[in-house]
Structure 1
Amino acid sequence: MNGTLEVLGLGKAFKRYPSHRARLLEWIVPFGKPRHQEVWVLRDIGFTLHPGEALGIIGINGAGKSTLLKLITGTAVPTMGHVAMHGRVAAMLELGMGFHPDFTGRQNVFMAGQLIGLTVDELTRAMPEIEAFAEIGEYIDQPVRVYSSGMQMRLAFSVATAKRPDILIVDEALSVGDAYFQHKSFERIRAFREQGTTLLIVSHDKSAIQSVCDRAILLDGGRISKEGKPEEIMDYYNAMIAERESSTVRQETHESGKVQTISGTGEATVRDIALLNAAGERAEVHDVGTDVTLRITVAIHAPLPNLTLGYRIKDRLGQNVFGTNTFHMGVPVEDLVPGAELVFDFRFPLNVGLGHYSVATSLHSNDTHLTDNYEWRDLALVFTVLNMSRKYFEGVAWLEPRITLQRTGA
């Protein structure tokens, strides 16, 4: 079926030679003993994507993400395993791949377009739309060598998506674009998905992965470390970065089925957390726009010269709604001793839209948890917002407008 992608037991190894002489000797005497060492950058990678599904691939630099995409698209040959793709594929692996710097943008459209399987007639008909979407103006008839990286990305994306592909593969190329074009590009990607395009995307952009993808894969050391829902994988990935050396990341499954990620060295922990209504009572359901208090109780287990408490409110897709911490709010917390207990109250109007939300908490020493991560806890609290007293509205935020009307003329 068009749009199906199967990756079975994929692996890639490179030969590492101790010297040029060893490489030459192995070439001259091919049946002698091997003079190289095999270095595996990918091993035992397998997954299946059905038409219309979207998979995000994340991992630290060097985890093998770009190599995996090259193997899938056929620009590199696997050492083991194979890939089966059904339907027309459009891929954006490297910025401006297929462009010749001395040719104009228009000429490159026809060359790059034919490389992805479009005919000259199809490209001629699509050219006005490609120009309009890329929005590079008169530069379309200038040599590509004078383009900025953002202009190359605009044109490359416009060509790759001039005709809806059955499978769209996108590397980090979109990250070089400005905010406007990134938004525009992801709108087109979402539209393709609704029409049945299968999507494979590599990105460090948490919002992009969680808003576009059905599931995600975490690559670590050339292998699939975890696979699951985007929010679960991104939470684990962020905790893993902070805890790369101490390896204190763990995940627990709630009764609701949600997976909570917890990490940290334990010098300080959240003992209790609650969202209080205007009457000061714990509640799981709140009205839009009402005043609430996020009360977080912290227990101290070791001497700490300073402490920062942060929280982050996320929507049901795991996208950040709001976050801050005591460091950025200018509230120093210093000279703490074991056994101490601190109660923090954050008061604010709950000006968010209807839906389910979660709160993540972090305890660390400075402005971020990447320095000293005492505790990071996702899904520390879950609550629901309903519209019980406001006029009807749509969206993710309650921004009550004041309307004035002026009439002129008859």
Structure 2
Amino acid sequence: MSGVVLSVDNIGKAYVEYASELQRFARWFGFPVKPKAEHWVLRHLTFRIATGESVGLIGQNGAGKSTVLKMISGTTQPSEGKVALRGRVSALLELGLGFNPELTGRENAIYSAGLMGLPQSRIQTLMPSIEEFAEIGEYFDQPMRTYSSGMQMRVAFSVATAVRPDILIVDEALSVGDAYFVHKCFQRIREFREAGTTLLIVSHDPTAIQSLCDRAILLDDGRMVLDGEPQQVFDYYNALVAEKENRTVRTERSSSGRIVTQSGTGEAVIEDVALTDGGGLPVEYIGVGQAAALRVRARVVQGIERLVFGYTIRDHLGRPMFGTNTHYTDQPCQHLKSGDRVEFVVRFPMNLGPGTYSVSVALTSAETHLVNNYQWRDLALVFTVANIGLPPFVGSAWIPAAIEVSALDREPTA
């Protein structure tokens, strides 16, 4: 990775309302006209992306993510600041953007590829591979108005990635695809990454961001909140979702150097989190398949009617391996008073593959932290799983298998 391929300097976007169309025209020609109203949807955004780097852009709806991508791809201009790009850019933005519903998929593909700057001779050469990747059969030669949203996405992605770009920009268009084609799209994106393509992707899917991206940028209300490791940024994003007014979200650096995100209103708090082995002894290192227990102690600060404890085990990329809570298991605590203390012990076999894992814990009133979030702690505990004496295997789960092997009769020879 070397050199900056994308530079965003203090960009902002404002939508302006004028008292009349005449004032709007006057502004276009450089005359000083004071607008009737001015609404900034994005302000003071600055970041750099290096060649070959993959960056995720996350945030709640209306945070400004799509606006940023449109300014970077050139479909709209910033009201302030500037964007500098180096290399060929391919962008998959709003679904159907630039497509003519009266043209066939093939005709739209030719038109879109031409807008990407490809010569007609190259487009004709690429058309068989575009058609093959889209996998929509005879619909490729039918009007696009007959397409489902998933079929439109298939054509759009096939065209946008027909030639490996220097920079690939992907908005949330992939969210409308079927599971098979989305898997196929992400496989192509990974291949581009390995070949050196720079990736900028918007997605609400933490697994996609954490598996594809080197870092993530969190936007909230048109401004950058955080730029860091994907897991750290998603932890903070989850806390923002829980605390919409952002009054109790806080981050701190743990003794191991990790950024830990906490949030909550504080009616109940977590006092201690520990992982123990089968004998009840605290451990940070445990073997695949061994008996384990997660022990969490909580204290009630202010009387509450209902308390639910939940936890999630995540891998080193922040992807959830398993999680549940006492609402799902029908074990909520009821009518707690100030000063009450509760211990939760979760016993389970450590059927995870070798690697490093973390535990996120939460105290709420229901099955989700979006109702009453008393306390939420990401990276509350980190532990390592190792394969001790078991047959070698790959993957993130230990699923003991019995393989039967038997010889079959030979096929008769002619």
TM-score (norm 1): 0.95
The SS at the match of 1:391 is coil
Q: CA deviation at 1:126?
A: 2.0
Number of residue-to-residue matches in the alignment:
406
Structure 2 residue aligned with 1:221: 221
Q: Hey, what's the Cα distance between the residues in 1 that align with 2:285 and 2:151?
A: 47
> Does the CA contact (< 8 Å) of 1:364 and 1:375 recur in 2?
yes
What is the CA distance between 1:99 and its match in structure 2? 1.6
Aligned to 2:80: 80
Q: 3-state SS of the aligned residue for 2:370?
A: coil
Instruction: Provide the rounded CA distance (Å) in 1 between the counterparts of 2:372 and 2:161.
Output: 44
Q: Displacement, 1:248? A: 0.1
Unaligned 5+ residue runs, structure 1?
Answer: none
1:124-174, Cα deviation, whole Å (9 max, x unpaired): 222222222211111111111100000100111011001100000011101
What is aligned with 1:338?
338
- AA paired with 1:26? Q
3-state SS in 2 of match to 1:208? helix
Tell me the CA shift for residue 376 of structure 1.
0.4
**Aligned partner of residue 20 in structure 2, secondary structure:** helix
- Map 1:201-280 to 2 at 5 A: 201-245=201-245, 247-280=247-280
SS in 2 for 1:200: strand
The Cα shift of 1:3 comes to 7.6
Assess, with a 3 A threshold, how the Cα gap between structure 1 residues 28 and 46 changes in structure 2: closer, same or farther. closer
Q: After the TM superposition, which residues 30-49 of structure 1 pair with which residues of structure 2 at under 5 Å, given as runs?
A: 34-49=34-49
Render the CA deviation track for 1:354-382: whole Å, top value 9, x for unaligned.
11000000110011000000000001111
Match of 1:23 in 2: 20
Q: Percent of aligned positions with the same letter in both sequences? A: 53
2:5 is matched with which residue?
4
Structure 1 position 246, deviation (Å): 5.5
Distance 1:210-1:32 versus aligned 2 partners, 3 A rule: closer
User: Do the aligned partners of 2:273 and 2:294 also contact (CA within 8 Å) in 1?
Assistant: yes
- 1:330 CA displacement: 1.6
Query: Who is 1:360 aligned against?
Result: 360
Q: Distance in 2 between matches of 1:199 and 1:33?
A: 40
RMSD: 1.7
Distance in 1 (CA, whole Å) between partners of 2:301 and 2:228 is 34
Q: Following superposition, which runs of at least 4 residues in structure 1 exceed 4 angstroms of deviation?
A: 27-33
1:12-68 Cα offsets, whole Å, 9 max, x none, are 112134xxxx22463587767624222221112111111110111111111111111
Moved more, 60-69 or 363-372: 60-69
Q: Is the 1:240–1:247 Cα contact (8 Å) retained in structure 2? A: no
Partner of 2:106: 106
Q: Deviations over 1:187-210 (max 9, x none)?
A: 111110110000111111111111
SS of alignment partner, residue 4 of structure 1: strand
Q: Pick closer, same or farther for the CA change 1:167–1:347 going to 2, 3 Å.
A: same
Number of the residue aligned with 2:96: 96
Could you tell me whether the CA contact under 8 Å between 2:240 and 2:246 is conserved in 1? no
In structure 2, distance between residues paired with 1:218 and 1:251: 14
- Give 2:15's aligned amino acid: F
**Segment drifting more, 215-224 vs 385-394:** 215-224
Q: 2:311 & 2:4 partners in 1: Cα distance?
A: 40
Deviations 1:62-88 (A, max 9, x none): 111111111111111111111111111
Is 2:155 the counterpart of 1:158?
A: no
Tell me the secondary structure at the aligned position of residue 362 of structure 1: strand
TM-superposed CA distance for 1:123, in Å, is: 2.2
Matches of 1:57 and 1:358, distance apart in 2: 23
Letter in 2 for 1:13: A
Take 1:323 and 1:397, find their aligned partners in 2: how far apart are those partners? Answer: 14
- 1:307 is displaced (CA, Å) by 0.8
Superposed CA deviations along residues 224-260 of structure 1, whole A, max 9, x for unmatched, are: 1111111111110110111113610000011322100
How far the C-alpha of 1:294 sits from its partner, in A, is 0.8
| Structure 2 counterpart SS, 1:307 | strand
CA contact (8 A) 1:305 1:334 kept: yes
CA–CA distance in 2 between the matches of 1:35 and 1:283? 64
Say whether 1:293 aligns with 2:276. no
Match of 1:314 in 2: 314
Name the TM-score, length of structure 2 as normaliser.
0.94
Worse-superposed segment, 331-340 or 150-159: 331-340
